[in-house]
Amino acid sequence: MKVGFISLGCSKNLVDTEHMMGALKAAGHEIVNDPELADAVVVNTCGFITEAKREAIDAIVEMGLLKEQGKFRILLATGCLAQRYPDELLQELPELDAVVGVKDYLRIPAILNACEAGQRPKAVSGWPEKYSLQTKRLVSTPPGWAYLKIAEGCNNRCTYCAIPGIRGPLRSRPKAELIKEAQELADAGVRELVLVAQDTTAYGRDLGPGESLADLVEKLGDINGIEWIRVMYAYPTGNVGEILSALKLKKVVPYLDIPLQHGSDKILKLMGRRYNRQVVYNLIAELREAIPGLALRTTLMTGFPGESADDHRENMELLERLQFDWTGVFAYSKEDGTVAGRLVPEVSPEVALERRRQLLELQQRITQRKNQQRVGQQASVLVESRLSPGNYRGRACFQAPEVDGTVLIKANRVLETGNFVTISFSRAYGYDLIGEEQIGTT
């Protein structure tokens, strides 16, 4: 059977999609990029915020229309939305042939067979006690890099977040499995590993003594072929040693994604975050002192219940003071079953979006200034794609895939995607940079 995928949401969800594709390929199915060429389509949904849920429903409805037109026969929904609302999806979307939860997604070959036999499965149970995967992934990211999902679930009980209720508590994937998968990725040409989880800094705490993010990263750094290791989704604990011990290891790029969520102590407490603004200031100062040239990314939220104009001003002050290289900003989304969903007073969507606009505008100025300072410098860049003859797109070590800016590479020869080249930055263009390849310095 030919199977097409639509993968929505975060990088962790994409890894799940890649494991599903690997399981289907191992079972003899063919993976196709175009849903209209498929016999079955799987929509891997996100259910984190209202906007993501709406996007998932829209995707299912759109695929349902193609199914009605006879483009394919079977339509499945999996992922967070399927785990959270399986009965509602089956009841309200008759075009769906099955819903598959986050524990059961690797059973997808058998579930497809059940659909072929005329059944309408609801394969949604709880979550597994352990996060262990034996399937070989079918990597879908551009040449040269791949995500490595090191854990599932989360023990942080942030009041706004439904993920622990959907994905369960922290379960770290066994180190031996991760090293084996990373070696397979390296053998396939991957040069950069991007480590993801709901909380990467918590890796290993459930596995026993001696298991930690730093220990894992050290072993990953021994793999031939891997040249960059990038850490995303680090929880900003007051223990800077946990993070530094990983960042100082070989092959780890001087980059850290550390979602802070807010700059107001009042809002941080309401969010259930286990730190305050001063802890953040101290942490960032220590990180920058210990890791020269460290690029930092964060995430902030606007419109959390009770957020006042003064709280928003503290958010702006945090961003201005810490001068992150990159910042993502989200307006608060009220989620079923969360503590924050019961908090008052609520902030209007219009106010939340205006505050988001102000934060993004400030971050844009900061990023543009930082990029302008890079003009004239040289850097190693991972080539991701060819745009046109002599023009390529890639990333430097201070740019994470999919969320940060990129580098437009100008070259006088044919470059191989998935390899590194040395470039000299000649121009800053918004969030992006333009650079020329430096022959003889690759």
Q: DSSP per residue over 176-194, as a string?
A: HHHHHHHHHHHHTT--EEE
**What are residue 221's phi and psi, to 5 degrees?**
-65, -15
Residue 441 has what pLDDT? 55
Residue 240 has what pLDDT? 79
Contact 60, 96 (CB under 8 A): yes
Residue 93 has what pLDDT? 95
> What is the separation of C-alpha 159 from the centre of its chain, rounded to a whole number of angstroms?
21
* CA 42 – CA 80 distance, rounded (Å): 13
What class does CATH assign to 145-373?
alpha beta
* CA 249 – CA 159 distance, rounded (Å): 34
Distances (CA, A) of 121 to 2, 65, 166, 180: 20, 21, 19, 33
* CA 112 – CA 134 distance, rounded (Å): 20
Pick the CATH number of 375-437 from 1.10.600.10, 2.60.40.1510, 2.40.50.140, 3.40.50.150: 2.40.50.140
Residue 238 has what pLDDT? 58
Per this entry, what is the length of the chain? 442
Contact 17, 5 (CB under 8 A): yes
* CA 104 – CA 126 distance, rounded (Å): 9
Contacts with 378 (C-beta within 8 Å, 6 or more apart), sequence order: 422, 423, 424, 425, 438, 441
Q: Where, residue-wise, is CATH 2.40.50.140 in the chain?
A: 375-437
Alpha-helix residue ranges (DSSP H) falling in 188-276:
213-220, 240-247, 265-271
Token pair listed for 313: 């001003």
pTM: 0.94
Q: Where, residue-wise, is CATH 3.80.30.20 in the chain?
A: 145-373
Contact 414, 175 (CB under 8 A): no
- Taking the CA atoms of 282, 284, 286 and 288 in sequence, report the sign of the dihedral they define: negative
Residue 47 has what pLDDT? 82
Residue 51 has what pLDDT? 86
CATH topology for the 2-123 domain: Rossmann fold (3.40.50)
Q: DSSP per residue over 124-156, as a string?
A: -----SS----SPP---SPTTEEEEE-EES---
Contact 181, 190 (CB under 8 A): no
User: pLDDT 10s per residue in the chain (442 long)?
Assistant: 999 999 998 899 999 999 999 999 999 999 999 999 999 999 999 987 788 889 999 999 999 999 999 999 999 999 999 999 999 999 999 999 999 998 898 899 999 999 999 999 999 987 778 888 888 899 999 999 999 999 999 999 999 999 898 899 999 999 999 999 999 999 999 999 999 999 999 999 999 888 999 999 999 999 999 999 999 999 998 567 888 999 999 999 999 999 999 999 999 999 999 999 999 999 999 999 999 999 999 999 999 999 999 999 999 999 999 999 999 999 999 998 899 999 999 999 999 999 999 999 999 999 999 999 999 999 999 999 999 999 999 999 999 999 999 999 999 999 999 999 999 999 999 899 999 999 865 4
Q: Where, residue-wise, is CATH 3.40.50.12160 in the chain?
A: 2-123
